[in-house]
Structure 1
């Protein structure tokens, strides 16, 4: 039976399809101890090497999506359930620019969405994202834009908490116009907002960037979450 959800008087039928958008991901090298301090109870940080882990900023412009058109900034940990289990992401904050997707993300998956101000300025080769919350700067980041590769749809997993219970959401993401940058310039400024302070606790800086990716024409599919 196909799952459906009533969101603000509209029916959302699962899975949720993203037919067109652009996406940048910035991967940082961070200390495991600092990342673990931000992880929810019951999850452990995935180490890349002893004492080190990765943290990601995800910047998404959803242009054609079952949940509408909107901008999104995600802050992601890489985790697994304590005692072993599948590696996946855990999103600590997920600001968006529209109310419908905020309610849908909270209600369906337990994603920590909130409606905030996100300003994007694109050039042919760069994309600048400025996130402001409560009138305070959270972050101002500029990443490389562009690419000619095709990224096949990859199966991915994200953990969330719904009413305090852990859930796993499977999704796929791929697209065209993709590029991977290992030595590209990334500009990052953190503000004074509490979330900016949280990000600063990880030691995020341009020097800690491991990898940046860009996909100009992204497609994705998000499944119904499953309780663990």
Structure 2
């Protein structure tokens, strides 16, 4: 039986497919206690080395998607359920540029989406993303663009809270034109918005970047969430 959701008078059938998009991820090395300060109850931060953890900015241009075309910037912790369980992601903020995907993300999965201003500027070898909220700069980041690898669909887990209860969403993401960039130039400016101050509390800087990834033609599939 197909699961459906009514979103603003339109029917969304599960799973939700992304047929084409461009995506970048910036992975930072951060202090584990700073990451724990942002971690919700019921989860624990994945420690990558003694006293250290990782944090990510996800930058996605959805071009052909069941929820429409839009831009998205995600701020992401790597967590697992307290007491043990599968490693996965927990998105702390998920600004997007369109209302429909915002409502769908909130209602279906419990993703913390909000409609904000995101400006994207691509060159042949860079991608610049500027996120502004409430008239204030949150983040201005430029990452390397490009790659030739094929990335098969990779199964992953995204954790959320729905009505205060932990849930997991299974999803896959892959694509072509992919590349992993280590030691490449990243420029990062954080603003004065409260979310920017959260990122400052983690010590995010161009120097704390571990690596970046780029996928030129990204595909993904998001399943119905399940309560833990």
TM-score by length of 1: 1.00
The residue that corresponds to 1:171 in the other structure is 171
- Pair 1:104 & 2:104 matched: yes
The residue that corresponds to 2:37 in the other structure is 37
Structure 1 CA distance for aligned equivalents of residues 84 and 128 of structure 2: 38
CA deviation after TM superposition for structure 1 residue 24, in Å = 0.1
Structure 2 CA distance for aligned equivalents of residues 122 and 85 of structure 1: 38
Structure 2 CA distance for aligned equivalents of residues 159 and 116 of structure 1: 23
CA deviation after TM superposition for structure 1 residue 30, in Å = 0.3
- Deviation string 1:139-175 (CA, Å, 9 cap, x unpaired) is 0000000111111100000000000000000000000
- Pair 1:55 & 2:38 matched: no
The residue that corresponds to 1:120 in the other structure is 120
The residue that corresponds to 1:13 in the other structure is 13
- Pair 1:26 & 2:21 matched: no
CA deviation after TM superposition for structure 1 residue 106, in Å = 0.1
The residue that corresponds to 2:159 in the other structure is 159
- Pair 1:79 & 2:91 matched: no
Structure 2 CA distance for aligned equivalents of residues 74 and 142 of structure 1: 15
CA deviation after TM superposition for structure 1 residue 42, in Å = 1.1
SS in 2 for 1:124: coil
Structure 1 CA distance for aligned equivalents of residues 79 and 2 of structure 2: 29
Unaligned runs of 5+ in 1: none
- Deviation string 1:100-139 (CA, Å, 9 cap, x unpaired) is 0000000000000000000000000000000000000000
The residue that corresponds to 2:147 in the other structure is 147
SS in 2 for 1:33: helix
The residue that corresponds to 1:222 in the other structure is 222
Q: CA RMSD of the aligned region, Å?
A: 0.3
CA deviation after TM superposition for structure 1 residue 218, in Å = 0.1
SS in 2 for 1:85: coil
| 4+ residue runs over 2 A deviation | none
Unaligned runs of 5+ in 2: none
